[in-house]
Amino acid sequence: VHDITILRESGLLEHVNDSVQIIADKAYVGEEFVITPKGKSYRRELTTEDKSYNYDINRARAAIENINQRIKTYAILGSIYRGTINDFDKIT
């Protein structure tokens, strides 16, 4: 499942306002409150400013993507907790 599908189905964007900025990849272009890298058009190349902007966005996004990948890799985080209730506070 793609990240944008999860975001849309979660309803999270319905609770976001102008003070919140979400950094995402090009798949999220057009979503409200989402900052995405600038793409080149068929008529022009990216400017130096656009490339610098994209570098900053992608650098911040890389940290987020690494966390997302770890969550997906360790699927146990998406499963039912199998421990005792007394031990739950040790993992949160």
User: Please, are residues 26 and 7 in contact by the beta-carbon 8 Å criterion?
Assistant: no
Work out the average pLDDT over 2-16: 83
Size (the chain), residues: 92
User: Please, are residues 58 and 35 in contact by the beta-carbon 8 Å criterion?
Assistant: no
Kind plus residue range of the DSSP H or E element containing 92? none
pTM of the complete model: 0.60
pLDDT digits (tens, 9 = 90+) for 69-78: 887 787 766 7
Segments making up each domain of the chain, as ranges? 3-80
pLDDT digits (tens, 9 = 90+) for 45-62: 999 999 999 999 999 989
Residue 59 is which amino acid? R
Token pair 């996004």: residue: 61
